[in-house]
Amino acid sequence: MSTDGAVRRIGVLGGTGEQGQGLAYRLALVGHEVVLGSRSPERAAQAAAELVQRGPAIRITGAGNADAAAAAEIVIAAVPYDGHRELLAGLAPELDGKIVIDCVNPLGFDKQGPFGLAVGAGSAAEEAADALPLSTVIGAFHHVSAKLLLSAEPLERTDILVLGDDRAAKDEVIGLIAGIEAMRGIDGGRLRHCRQVEHMTAVLIAINRRYKAHAGLLVTDL
Amino acid sequence: MSTDGAVRRIGVLGGTGEQGQGLAYRLALVGHEVVLGSRSPERAAQAAAELVQRGPAIRITGAGNADAAAAAEIVIAAVPYDGHRELLAGLAPELDGKIVIDCVNPLGFDKQGPFGLAVGAGSAAEEAADALPLSTVIGAFHHVSAKLLLSAEPLERTDILVLGDDRAAKDEVIGLIAGIEAMRGIDGGRLRHCRQVEHMTAVLIAINRRYKAHAGLLVTDL
């Protein structure tokens, strides 16, 4: 649960992807109620049913993206970058007044490997904020490995950079993260910093390829 | 010294700045010969004389930037971003055939705090590579705190992302870094990733401001 002890109802858009499933699993593992959202409610229900089998106390259900957004207090956007802005804009009524955690990394791949895509608004998170003027968009979970999230192994200690322009919302997300095993949320500053944070994922992918790892980041001296 | 046991002669351009002095100190502490370069040879000599007092085995001298570049096998560019490209272009003959480690962070500051400056070439390191076609430019040391480098305290463990398009040169720099107390050099991929690595320093500054820290980064799962 969150550091304030509260159980949250969390929606995960793109919840049938690896990142979405992994975050849903880790959040449900500590007591939160999670609704996986997908374009296909059937696929969401199926993914939820599989995750629920991982433990007796895990509460995860599946729904369409709009129903997942409407049902939740806090919503995580774990969708592919392609179509991300349009998907969120279409859910603006369901997301009105809510914290939306964006963990989307706009990356391309060419023969030299991964690279950060130029984004008009600066970052995927800022695009989300433009598309959702009545929501509070926070960037987080960019660097955590979906493979590790979904693994049955205990997580290695990892830090999650939390970025945004609303201090109270950042603190709420940092509290949510602190409840997850081995994770620490760190205020990484303004939403505009999401560009370099999102693009840092290309560096982590390069590291993963060279070292055969699932690299993440820790911040020192805190 | 380096992991191959070799003592290197290392030039530090902008060697009278905090970052330059801090790197010079840590490299000299493990046996390397360092030449601090500065526009003013007198100021370089003075900074060197002060660092030498920190330990009996420390070998640091001062010189003009061109002499420091000419004398060294490996050169670190620790100059301010403003004027960085021009300074390096002017030293192209002295840097010919050498590894140039660029640790420059192109950042601006406004009322919201630090932010990454747009750079035509993509990053300061790529600008350096454009200005020095006969040198091998490697990006490294972007995130290490000058305050900690210059402190008399033992360093906390920190990772240094090493970026470039020449694998052998990257490995040489990684070896150099491995010789420094508490530091590990990690291949972070291509030189083009330097943009997000340089701009990540804005995130670390934001973290330092919120948490009163001298934050650095560690890479997990390696």
pLDDT in tens, B96-122: 999 999 999 999 999 999 999 999 999
What digits encode the pLDDT tens for the residues A202-220?
999 999 999 999 999 999 9
Residue A187, pLDDT score: 98
Residue A1, pLDDT score: 58
ipTM at complex level: 0.95
Rounded Cα–Cα distance for residues B134 and A52 (Å): 59
- pLDDT band for position A184 (cuts 50, 70, 90): very high
User: How many contacts (CB atoms, under 8 Å) link A and B?
Assistant: 133
Rounded Cα–Cα distance for residues B158 and A219 (Å): 9
- Beta carbons of B112 and A188 less than 8 Å apart: no
At residue B153, does pLDDT exceed 90?
no
Which residues in chain A touch residue B214, judged by CB atoms under 8 angstroms apart?
221
Per DSSP, the three-state class of B179 is coil
CA A145 to chain CA mean position, Å: 11
A190 token code pair: 């303004």
Q: What is the torsion angle, in degrees rounded to the nearest 10, for the CA atoms of residue A195, residue A197, residue A201 and residue A203? A: 100
CB B175 within 8 A of CB B139: no
Which residues in chain B touch residue A114, judged by CB atoms under 8 angstroms apart?
189
Hunting for tokens 């791949």 — which residue is that?
Answer: A109
Looking at chain B, the whole-number percentage of residues with pLDDT higher than 70 is: 98
What digits encode the pLDDT tens for the residues B25-35?
999 999 999 99
Rounded Cα–Cα distance for residues A7 and A108 (Å): 37
Question: Which residues on chain A place their C-beta less than 8 Å from a C-beta of chain B?
Answer: 112-116, 145, 148, 156-158, 161, 163, 186-190, 192-193, 195-197, 199-200, 202-207, 210-211, 213-222
What's the count of helices (H) and strands (E) in chain A, helices before strands? 9, 11
Q: What is the helix, strand, coil percentage profile of chain A, to 5?
A: 40, 25, 35
Nearest CA in chain B to A201: B196
Rounded Cα–Cα distance for residues B10 and B132 (Å): 18
Measure CB to CB from residue A203 to each of B156, B161, B216 and give the nearest one: B161
Quote the pTM value.
0.96
Measure CB to CB from residue A206 to each of B189, B210, B211 and give the nearest one: B189
Mean pLDDT (whole number) for B193-207: 98
Hunting for tokens 């055969």 — which residue is that?
Answer: A212
Rounded Cα–Cα distance for residues B27 and B148 (Å): 14
CB B216 within 8 A of CB A220: yes
